[in-house]
Amino acid sequence: MINATRLAQEFARQAAIESPSFGEGKISGYLQERFRELGARVVMDDAGPKAGSQSGNLIARFPARGKNSEPLMLSVHMDTVSPTEGVSPVLKDGVFTSEGDTILGADDKAGIAEIIEALEVVRENGIPHGPIEVLVTICEEVGLLGAKLLDYSKISARRGLALDTSGVDLVIHRAPCANKMLYEITGREAHAGIAPELGVSAIQVAARAIDRMRLGRIDHETTANIGVIAGGQATNIVPRKVVLQGEARSHDAAKLVRQTDHMRACLEEACHELAVRIDDRPVRAQVKGEVVADYPLMAVPREAGIIRLLEQAAGSLGRKLEVRSAGGGSDANIFNSHGIETVILGTGMTNVHSVNESVSVADMVRVAELLVEVLRRA
Ligand SMILES: [Zn+2]
C-alpha cells in the first residue's frame, strides 16, 4: 500500500528546506500547507516568540473517521542540527545522504515524511481511524525547547508515539532524567613567583574536587561527567577563577539527586581542604553553583497500552519489535511528564548529527507500513 516514490519525494522536498533550530519558519510554512492538504485543522501555539524561533509548535488534528477511539498523538520535531547551509539531499541506490558538507536532516524529517505517507495511505484506502494529533515541535535539538514551551491545552491525546530515534522496529520506553551543572570556583589571585603564599589556586581546588568525584558510569542506570573546564590567566598568576560544566543522568530520580549532591560536596570539600592562612586569617576558595533540571524521567511500563498497540501492529506485519531503554532525553521525556504516555519509535535514520547522516527509502517504507497498521488499530 505504501507508495515508496511518493514517500521518497516527500522526504526529499523537506530535506531541501533548511531548518536549523530557531530558523524553522520555512519548514513550518511547508508543513502547515501539507497537513491542510491532507485534511487536518492546523494550529500553531505561542512557543515561537517564547523560544525565539520563527515558528511555534504545530498541531495538525485529523478528526476520527469511522472509528470511535481515544486520540493518538504522533510527534516529530521540525528543527535540525547544523551545518545546514545549502543542504541538498542525494538519493543513490535507494539511500538518501547529503552532498557531504551538511547534515541530511533525516533527524527528524524521515519521521515527518513517514507520518505523511501513512496519512496518505489511510486516506486513499479509506481506512477507518480514531482522532489523530500530529505534533511537530520546534527547537528540539537545543534543549527540547518546543516540548517544554508547548501549550498542552492544545493536545487532547493521552498516549503518543515520538518518531525520533535510529533503527527500525525499535521502541524506546525508558530514558533517564538529567541535571546540568555549572560551577564557578573563586580562589585568590597572587603573583606566582613573588608571593604564591598569598594565593588560593582555583585550578588546584578544581583538580582535587574532580579527582574525588565519581564520574563516568556510576551504576547500571546512572552516569556523570565534567565536560568543560575553563580558568586561569597566565603562568605567573595563581589562578583566581575556574568554571566547570557537567551533567548527571539516571533512570532513578533519587539517584540523580544523590549524584548531583555528591559532585557539589566534592567541590566544597576541596575548598575546605585547600584553605590557607593569610595574615592569620583563614582564606578558602568559594563555590557558586547552578543546577538546572534538564529533562525529567521517562519510564513507560513495558505492559503499557501504547506498547501493546505497537506490538499488535508489528505482529500483523509478521515483524517483532525490540523494546528497550535509551541513554538520553528527548521530547518524549517532556510529554510523559505532562501525562501523555509516549514511547519513541525508530525512523530508520542513521549517523545522525553528522555529515554522514543517511536514511534508506526501504527503511522509511517499513516505518510508514507500521504506522498505517498502528492507525488502523489505535
Ligand atoms: Zn531528533
Nearest to 95 by CA among 170, 4, 164: 4
Mean pLDDT of the chain: 97
Q: Give CA–CA dist 362/198, Å, rounded.
A: 68
Amino acid at 254: A
Q: How confident is the model at residue 297 (pLDDT cuts 50, 70, 90)?
A: very high
pLDDT for position 222:
97
The Å distance, Cα 358 to ligand 1 centre, comes to 13
Average pLDDT over residues 107-130: 97
Ligand 1 mean position to 240 CA, how many Å?
40
Q: Are 65 and 143 in contact (CB under 8 A)?
A: no
The proportion of the chain whose per-residue pLDDT surpasses 70, expressed as a percent, equals: 100
**What is the Å distance from ligand 1's center to 184 Cα?**
32
Closest CA to 176 of 217, 135, 138: 217
pLDDT value at position 11?
98
CA 208/CA 267 separation, integer angstroms: 8
Give the Cα separation of 366 and 261 in Å (integer).
Answer: 45
- Catalytic residue selected from 79, 114, 341, 369: 79
Instruction: Name the amino acid, one letter, at 37.
Output: E
**pLDDT score for 142:** 95
**Across residues 179-198, what is the average pLDDT?**
96
Q: How far is CA 333 from the centre of its chain?
A: 9
State residue 345's pLDDT score: 98
Mean pLDDT of 24-36: 98
C-alpha 29 – ligand 1 centre gap (Å): 20
Catalytic residue among 114, 117, 140, 363: 140
The single residue listed with the C-alpha cell 589556586 is 201
Peptide bond into 211 cis (omega under 30): no
Q: Is 70 a catalytic residue?
A: no
Catalytic residue flag (residue 101): no
Model pLDDT, residue 311:
98
Q: Which amino acid is at 227?
A: G
Q: What is the pLDDT of residue 20?
A: 97
When pLDDT is cut at 50, 70 and 90, the band that residue 213 belongs to is very high
Residues 310-348, buried b or exposed e (16+ Cβ, 10 A)? Answer: beebbeeeeeebebeebeebbbbbbbbeeebbbbbbbbb
The residue-averaged pLDDT of 93-101 equals: 95
pLDDT at 369: 98
Helical residues (DSSP H) of 294-339, grouped into ranges: 305-316, 331-337
Whole-model pTM?
Answer: 0.89
Question: Could you tell me if 115 and 129 are in contact, meaning their C-beta atoms sit under 8 angstroms apart?
Answer: no
* Average pLDDT score over residue span 20-26: 98
C-alpha 245/C-alpha 351 separation (Å) is 26
For the segment 55-73, the average pLDDT, to the nearest whole number, is 97
The contacts of residue 374 (CB under 8 Å, 6+ apart) are 72, 161, 309, 310, 313
What pLDDT sits at residue 209? 98
Please classify residue 61 by burial: count the beta carbons closer than 10 Å to its beta carbon, then call 0-12 exposed, 13-18 middle and 19+ buried.
buried
Nearest to 4 by CA among 353, 326, 368: 368
CA of 165 to the centre of ligand 1 (A): 7
Q: Residue 210 Cα, ligand 1 centroid: separation in angstroms?
A: 32
Confidence of residue 107 (pLDDT cuts 50, 70, 90): very high
Angle subtended at Cα 361 by Cα 23 and Cα 119, rounded to the nearest 5 degrees: 70
Cα angle 267, 273, 276 (rounded to 5 degrees) comes to 120
Q: Checking DSSP bridges between strand 159-165 and strand 72-77, what pairing results, if any?
A: parallel
Question: In the numeric block, which cell numbers belong to residue 8?
Answer: 521518497
What's the whole-number mean pLDDT along residues 305-327?
A: 97
What pLDDT sits at residue 111? 98
**Per-residue pLDDT at 168:** 97
Other CB atoms closer than 10 Å to residue 198's CB: what's the count? 15
Beta bridge partners, 170, equal: 322
How far apart CA 202 and CA 206 sit, in angstroms, is: 6
- Mean pLDDT in residue range 259-267: 98
